[in-house]
Amino acid sequence: MSEVRTFAADNFDDEVLQAAEPVLVDFWAPWCGPCRMVGPVVEKLARDYAGRLKVGKVNVDENRDLAGKYGIMSIPTLIVFKDSNEAKRIVGFRGEKELVDAIDQVL
Domains of the chain: 4-106 (3.40.30.10)
Mean pLDDT, rounded, for 14-18: 97
Q: Euclidean distance between the first and final Cα of the chain, in Å?
A: 19
Confidence band, pLDDT 50/70/90 cuts, at residue 68: very high
**Rg, C-alpha atoms of the chain:** 12
Residue 11 has pLDDT above 70, yes or no: yes
pTM, entire model? 0.96
Q: Considering only CA atoms, which of 58, 47, 68, 49 is closest in space to residue 16?
A: 58
The DSSP bridge partners found for residue 58 are 27
Mean pLDDT, rounded, for 63-71: 97
Mean pLDDT, rounded, for 26-33: 97
Mean pLDDT, rounded, for 56-61: 98
| Residue positions annotated with a catalytic role | 32, 35
